[in-house]
DNA sequence: CGACTTCATTATGTCAGACATATGACCGTT
DNA sequence: AACGGTCATATGTCTGACATAATGAAGTCG
């Protein structure tokens, strides 16, 4: 049948008990997605490059247009391509976007945290590793623009009831993560912070006094960063996160 | 037209210049995927639950089967569902799988590291934050089974030319990350380690003597963990990673 | 000559219907 | 109880058609 794109993938010929389902042939749409992904990841197709049109891909792979479309859906939802309609439409290779990775990891953590594999304490522990170090690096590295951004973020206090807090600009912790100058801090720290924030927001267990105290800690941390004092910035961030711990644990018990 | 699942999403009525393309209606397959994703992420549909069959989803959403199938492709490639053919087939909500998140993050990092946004030094810096702390936590927490695994991993030296190194069992660094008992260490550390290992493997710049030295460090770290000495395990891991730094930087200049 | 409108072209989005194939349950036979 | 065959069910793939979005070219008007 035309849809059988490649030959069989025989199951592992071993004596050990394996849990894989014996499925000889991957669906054609999956194989086509795999082939196109390989071209993208290897650099054969670069950011902004346009894939052949759907009819052209049909000819190239010898399959129907609905099979091609399913393959493109796979790639698009993995943020490898994006499609546009119209005369200049088509599927274009996406620009690498860390924000999407952050969102995807955050979604995974959000699901995992409600299973026995991941606990709130694990998130708090990881945060306690990342964010004090982030504050330290920010104090060491931040240029004047970055320092301005950190100070501004500390000066815009937020509470869950304030819708402006979540619209348009990063909050204080995000700004610190970015101020490290190392994108990995954001990619690792942001998903953790997002899950924790969502949980706190949902639980509605933080008093105004507690918010005021948190905002004050933000200001102190920002001032240490502005003053170029890494040790103080790190220590203050660690104290701040330790102070927050009971709030998260209170939220976690709901 | 039947495919228009919901009304228009009007563009933001603001004076500020926005870069979003004015696309009033999200495709139906995207809207359907969003709706099903919400049911999964919110817990309305749990792991193992079967979604309605394709014809049933057609009736429920009032769209064609190819539109439904495209929506299912979106969810499946985001690891939210998996489909099986046959009489007991259908689409089933996936069990949360951190390995897939690790793979996805690793793929993102692998792409990003070749852009100006992420450098090899950033990966090394993140690793230098995570893995010494992982060694420390492993020394504090590991039970006898975990200690056995760490010792065994240290005792199976590996080189890039040895295909057995990469088949079936975790390497030493992975074992340390898991030995923390905090899944986040694996989810954050493994992708970084994988990108670095791939780069080192590809560059083929490590001599046998350097491998021997690395293996020796592994044994020393494992012994500190077995002895329950967190400070020594952390310091030795930090020293080990610092020793490796020139190898990665050599690989990075190719 | 610039602005505006119209239209053609191109590409994706969606549909209906059909057929292929995988898969497990069920039933009859040994 | 085991095995083989059959059947129902569900997904995989296909074909052909039409809808619709989006862009650029061409013509018109002031």
Return the CATH number at A139: 1.20.120.530
User: Is the confidence at residue B157, as pLDDT, over 70?
Assistant: no
Q: Of A96, A129, A160, which marks where a domain is finished?
A: A96
Residue B54 CB partners (closer than 8 Å, separation 6+) = B65, B68, B69, B72
Confidence band, pLDDT 50/70/90 cuts, at residue A8: very low
Same domain, yes or no: A55 and A180: no
Please report, in angstroms and rounded to a whole number, the separation of the first and last CA atoms in chain A. Answer: 55
Structural domain harbouring B30: 1-96
Tell me A101's DSSP state: H
The structure tokens 């190194």 sit at: B165
- Cβ partners under 8 Å of residue A97, min gap 6: A79
Residues A5 and A80 in one domain: yes
pLDDT tier for residue A239 given thresholds of 50, 70 and 90: very high
* Domain count across chain A: 2
Whether residues B87 and B103 fall in one domain: no
Judge whether residue A18 has pLDDT over 50. no
What's the CA angle centered on A47, arms A42 and A48, to 5 degrees?
140
CA atoms within 13 A on the CB side of A202: 13
Handedness of CA B200, B201, B204, B210 (dihedral sign): positive
- Do residues A123 and A231 share a domain? yes
> Do A32 and A121 lie in a common domain?
no
Instruction: Give yes or no: residues A92 and A105 share one domain.
Output: no
Q: What is the pLDDT of residue B253?
A: 65
Q: What is the DSSP code (8-state) at residue B248? A: H
Average per-residue pLDDT for chain B = 85
In the structure, how far is the CA atom of residue B27 from the C1' atom of nucleotide D15, in angstroms? 23
Q: Measured between alpha carbons, how far is B252 from B254 in angstroms, rounded to an integer?
A: 5
Query: In whole angstroms, what is the distance from residue B36 CA to residue B173 CA?
Result: 38
Residue nearest to nucleotide D9 (CA to C1'): B87
Residue A13 pLDDT exceeds 60: no
Q: Which of residues 57-86 of A touch strand D (CB under 7 A)?
A: 62-67, 70, 84-86
Strand A81-84 and strand A90-93: the pairing is antiparallel
In the block, tokens 């952050």 appear at A102
Task: Flag whether pLDDT at B33 surpasses 90.
Answer: yes
User: Which nucleotide is nearest, taking the CA of residue B88 and each C1'?
Assistant: C24
Classify B168 as helix, strand or coil.
coil
Nucleotide in closest CA–C1' contact with B89:
D10
Please check whether residues B216 and B102 belong to one and the same domain: yes
pLDDT in tens, B91-143: 999 988 898 889 889 988 988 988 889 999 999 999 999 999 999 999 999 99
Distance B55 CA to D14 C1' (A): 18
Residues A71 and A103 placed together within one structural domain of the fold: no
* Residue A102: closest C-alpha in chain B: B105
- ipTM of this complex prediction, to 2 decimal places: 0.80
Please name every residue paired with A93 in a beta bridge, in sequence order, or none if there are none.
Answer: A81
Which CATH number do you get for residue B83? 1.10.10.10
End-to-end CA distance of chain B: 56
CA nearest to B190, candidates B112, B254, B250, B104: B104
Last residue of a domain, one of B54, B80, B96: B96
Beta bridge partners of B47: none
Residues B164 and B49 in one domain: no
Whole-angstrom CA distances from A79 to A50, A83, A87, A94, B20 are 14, 11, 23, 7, 16
Residue A157 to residue A193: CA distance in whole angstroms: 17
What does R_g of chain B's alpha carbons equal in angstroms? 24
Query: Contact, A197 vs A94, CB < 8 A?
Result: no
Cα angle: A134, vertex A140, A144; to 5 degrees: 100
Q: Which of A117-126, B30-39, B162-171, B214-223 shows the lowest mean pLDDT across its residues?
A: B162-171
Considering B44, B72, B96, which residue would you say is the last residue of a domain? Answer: B96
Supply the pLDDT for residue B32: 97
Do B134 and B46 sit in the same domain of this protein?
no
* Residue B69 banded pLDDT, cuts 50, 70, 90: very high
Q: Are residue A91 and residue A28 in the same domain, yes or no? A: yes
- In chain A, at which residue ranges do the beta strands (DSSP E only) sit? 81-84, 90-93
Selected for mutation to probe chain A from B30, B123, B188 (highest A CB count within 10 Å) is: B188
pLDDT digits (tens, 9 = 90+) for B50-61: 999 999 999 999
CB contact under 8 A, A182 and B76: no
Strands (E), chain B: 81-84, 90-93
Work out the angle at residue A224's Cα, subtended by the Cα atoms of residues A179 and A143, and round it to the nearest 5 degrees. 40
Is B122:B74 a contact under the CB 8 Å cutoff? Answer: no
Residue B187 to residue B178: CA distance in whole angstroms:
10
Residues 61-100/B with CB within 7 Å of nucleic chain D are 65-66, 69, 72, 83-87, 89-91
The whole-number Å distance from B89's CA to D1's C1' is: 28
Are residues A146 and A46 part of one domain?
Answer: no
């Amino acid at each position: 049948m035309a849809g059988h794109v490649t030959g069989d993938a025989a199951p592992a010929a071993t004596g050990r008990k394996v849990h894989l389902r014996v499925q000889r042939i991957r669906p054609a749409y999956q194989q086509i997605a795999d082939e196109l992904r390989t071209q993208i990841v290897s650099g054969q197709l670069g950011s902004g490059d346009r894939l052949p049109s759907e009819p052209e891909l049909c000819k190239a792979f010898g399959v129907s247009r609905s099979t091609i479309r399913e393959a493109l859906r796979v790639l698009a939802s993995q943020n490898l391509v994006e499609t546009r309609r119209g005369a200049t439409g088509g599927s274009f290779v996406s620009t690498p976007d860390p924000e999407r990775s952050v969102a995807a990891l955050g979604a995974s953590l959000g699901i995992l945290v409600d299973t026995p594999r991941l606990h709130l304490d694990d998130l708090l522990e990881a945060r306690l590793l990342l964010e004090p170090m982030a504050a330290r690096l920010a104090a060491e590295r931040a240029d004047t623009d970055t320092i301005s951004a950190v100070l501004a973020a500390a000066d815009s206090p937020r509470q869950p009831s304030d819708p402006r807090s979540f619209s348009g600009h990063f909050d204080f912790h995000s700004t610190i993560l970015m101020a490290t100058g190392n994108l990995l801090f954001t990619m690792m720290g942001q998903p953790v912070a997002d899950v924790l924030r969502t949980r706190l927001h949902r639980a509605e267990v933080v008093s105004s006094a507690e918010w005021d105290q948190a905002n004050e800690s933000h200001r102190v941390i920002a001032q240490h960063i502005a003053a170029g004092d890494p040790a103080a910035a790190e220590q203050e961030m660690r104290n701040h996160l330790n102070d927050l711990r009971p709030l998260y644990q209170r939220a976690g018990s709901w």
